[in-house]
Amino acid sequence: MINIPVPVNEKERLKALDDYEILDTLSENEFDRITELASIICDVPISLVSLVDEKRQWFKSVLGLDVRETSRDISFCRYAIMNSNLMEINDATKDLRFKANTLVTGAPDIRFYAGYPLIDPNGHALGTLCVIDREPRLLNAKQKRAMQLLAEEVIVLIVERRQKQQLQSFEKIFNLSNDLVFVGGEDGFFKKVNPAFKRVLGWEEDHLLHTSTFEFIHPDDIESTVTQLEKLSKGEPTVNFLQRFKSITGEYRTIQWTSTPEASTGNIFGIGRDVTEKIKLEKVLARTSEMLERTNTVARVGGWEFDLQKQTLYWTPVTKEIHGVPADFTPNLVDAIDFYKIGESRDKMAEAINRAVTNGIPWSLELQIANAKGKDLWVRALGNVEFTNGVCKRLYGTFQDIDDYKRTELALMRAVTTQKKLNEELKVQASLVQKQDKTIQDIQEFKFLADSIPEIIWTSNPDGSTDYYNRYWFDYTGLTLEETKAFGWPTVLHLDDIEKDGNDWRHCLATGTPYESEVRFRRKSDGVYRWHLSRALPMKNDKGEVVKWFGSCTDIDEYKRALNLENKISQFEDFNRIIAHNLRGPAGSIGMLLDMIAGEDDTAEKENLLTMLKTSSLTLNETLNELMKVLEVRNNKNMTYDLCYLPEMVNVTDAMLKGQIAAKKATITTALQVSNMKFPKMYLESIFYNMVSNSLKYSKPDAAPQINIASKIVDGRVVLVFSDNGLGIDLSRHGQNMFKLNSVFHKGYDSKGVGLFMTKTQIETFGGKITVESEPNVGTTFTIVF
């Protein structure tokens, strides 16, 4: 059996042949002229340019045969490619390798064969240039030399053919690329630029080719650019760098360049991508992240996340700080629960986690922990749950230090309880004094009781002159009895409270109604003014005439501070929620648009998506600025009404949610009978945003969202109506919790339960009302009366 020869580099040879992209191509005159010339020189009827593939030999040019290919198993050329010299067969009928070959025993009746291998510059034998005769014969020396020269010319044609194809492909890419492509010289001038330079930067090609590139580079970037070029001159194969490049408008665009040198010509090839919008977006996102991080740090609000599949728990830096652990601490679920104090706090947290994992129920709890430094703290723990296909995958939430607020709240509750007891006792004593048959012993008992109470107790005559103070008055104010009688309250009363308190007291004296006033008294020990609740009840005779006033002054300074702290915390938490809620839509739009750009090949559509990305980026930046204004509004209690143009509200909302609207192919229609209304613009924008974003989020998966916004006048009041064709809400189940904080009605969505709560709060703050009508799988309608 004769072994079939295979070159040692067969795998590489076949790949090289495939890379030339010449197999199964049309006839070309250049190759046909060579086969004709070979036939004439060698005086034979058959001449071929044969390329040996894996299972066949294919003829790029053929003279004297009417076939384009044969099986490799019967080809003579498979032997010819094994060497680098001419293979010559005088008479195939006498050669053991070929005498039984069907090409010899039958048509075309080969007797003579001479083939010169076609070896490319990398040493791969692609095939042969061969001549064939039906009679035995041999080539002379000149014919053999001619075959060698012609074979070398065939290789030149094959290589040049591929180079032309590559050049054509490069020209297409060069002209159609959205990226900036150039060829530059060592003199700092462009030699060739593609059309993208005009599209992106606006410059004409002639201007770019005749102006030094350094004229376009931002002055602050010239030094770094020179450094990158020096790297290329020192042998680095490629450099990547950012550079600000002037456009025809004078604006500098940020270009990300990748450049490489060509040593043989000294040219520099480069490709650049305009990343101006990307850089701006990264700055906006970094600013957002930094602002949220600072906000959470100031508010002592941390975050956490637990992956049930990986059983990994993540804490943000603020959460670790509250727990008193170092920054490199790695938490786990067991340790996290153990931080809660044994008993009620730990039991409630364990139960909340179990209910969330089992039933998908979120939690909001105020509990106590003992941190790693041994300090007991009150914290507010909020948790949410994420399900996928009915399986709990993730728990996440926030963790806030509320220790100061909680302790003040508890102290306030104790103070209120004490005050209630004191009031009851005062009523009892007033009843005793009202009795006609009171005795000196009763009076002494009253004074003893009054002196034992850590509050200021006093009595006055019907004309308002004070005739008794208990011991606590003198201890607190430092006044003597004589000084008190001579100067009275004004001596220790805050200057800002004297006029109002005097007017209140005189009104009560004139009308006989109970007296109550909040005033500030100066404490002798440190000179600090502390808030007191001053009260007095009139004791009347049978005729209804006042015969005595019995009064008390209760220290409510901690209570006042607690109210102020609670109000500030509430406002800060509300603002924090507004930030998180209102940024989610634009940021989500940007994320969707980036994903759509990455998966889009069509240039025109990609340009459209980039325009939408820029719009969403600008919207995100504007949202940040508006949220900063919200903080200023929070500090201004006298919020003014703005004249709001409702079509503009619709356009702003559309811009903020453009990415989500495009992704879901949503349609927004309007029926605005009323175009203008007065309302704080910032809150009205928030209301529009919450209504439309909810309609998009809770849309049906199999139907494009259809959202309608209508306005009208009913009974002299502006009414807004937002309706959609979404998932709807089961009001029989969720109606009572519709507008409560953290209420979530659909599982599997990234919902916080904040939007409707904020919307209702904003509407009712300014005297409005919001109602809802909804049916599952049909849609939802919100009606707002301003």
pLDDT digits (tens, 9 = 90+) for 657-687: 988 899 889 999 999 999 999 888 888 998 9
CATH numeric code, 10-172: 3.30.450.40
CATH fourth-level superfamily of 562-785: Histidine kinase-like ATPase, C-terminal domain (3.30.565.10)
The CATH fold assigned to 407-555 is: Beta-Lactamase (3.30.450)
* Segment 35-60 mean pLDDT: 96
**Cα separation of 392 and 56, whole Å?**
59
178-200 burial: b if 16+ Cβ within 10 Å, else e: bbbbbbbeeebebeebbebbeeb
What local confidence, expressed as pLDDT, does residue 432 receive?
A: 56
Neighbours of 277 (CB within 10 A): 16
Question: 48 with 62: CB under 8 angstroms?
Answer: yes
Identical fold, 177-274 and 407-555: yes
Considering only CA atoms, which of 172, 174, 34, 46 is closest in space to residue 109? 46
Domain map (residue ranges) of the chain: 10-172, 177-274, 299-401, 407-555, 562-785
Considering only CA atoms, which of 410, 400, 413, 332 is closest in space to residue 369? 400
**Cα separation of 729 and 734, whole Å?**
7
The radius of gyration of the chain's CA atoms, rounded to the nearest angstrom, is: 45
Distances (CA, A) of 344 to 238, 361, 409: 64, 19, 19
Run of H or E including 732:
helix 731-734
pLDDT of residue 634 exceeding 70: no
Considering only CA atoms, which of 489, 406, 392 is closest in space to residue 748? 392
**Cα separation of 509 and 536, whole Å?**
11
What local confidence, expressed as pLDDT, does residue 293 receive?
A: 63
**Cα separation of 669 and 710, whole Å?**
9
For residue 290, what are its two tokens?
């930094």
Cis peptide, bond prior to residue 647, ω within 30 of zero: no
* Segment 411-421 mean pLDDT: 77
Half-sphere exposure of 630 (CA within 13 A, CB side): 22
What local confidence, expressed as pLDDT, does residue 632 receive?
A: 45
Instruction: Indicate the pTM of the whole model.
Output: 0.36
Q: Of 205-219, 325-339, 431-445, 676-690, which range is least confident? A: 431-445
CATH numeric code, 299-401: 3.30.450.20
Run of H or E including 693:
helix 681-697
**Cα separation of 205 and 190, whole Å?**
10
pLDDT digits (tens, 9 = 90+) for 293-306: 665 565 578 888 99
Mean per-residue pLDDT over the chain, rounded? 85
**Cα separation of 144 and 131, whole Å?**
11
What is the three-state SS of 311-357?
CEEEECHHHHHHHCCCCCCCCCHHHHHHCECCCHHHHHHHHHHHHHH
Question: 683 with 712: CB under 8 angstroms?
Answer: no
pLDDT digits (tens, 9 = 90+) for 583-614: 555 655 666 666 677 666 677 777 776 777 66
CATH numeric code, 177-274: 3.30.450.20
Q: What is the DSSP letter of 26?
A: P
Query: Which string of DSSP letters, residue by residue, matches 659-689?
Result: HHHHHHT-EEEEEES--EEEE-HHHHHHHHH
What local confidence, expressed as pLDDT, does residue 298 receive?
A: 55
pLDDT of residue 165 exceeding 90: no
pLDDT digits (tens, 9 = 90+) for 722-770: 999 998 888 888 777 777 766 677 776 766 666 787 788 778 877 789 9
What local confidence, expressed as pLDDT, does residue 1 receive?
A: 40
pLDDT of residue 466 exceeding 90: no
Q: Of 28-42, 342-356, 533-547, 596-610, which range is least confident? A: 596-610
**Backbone angles phi and psi of 601, in degrees to 5:** -100, -25
154 burial (CB, 10 Å; 0-12 / 13-18 / 19+) is: buried
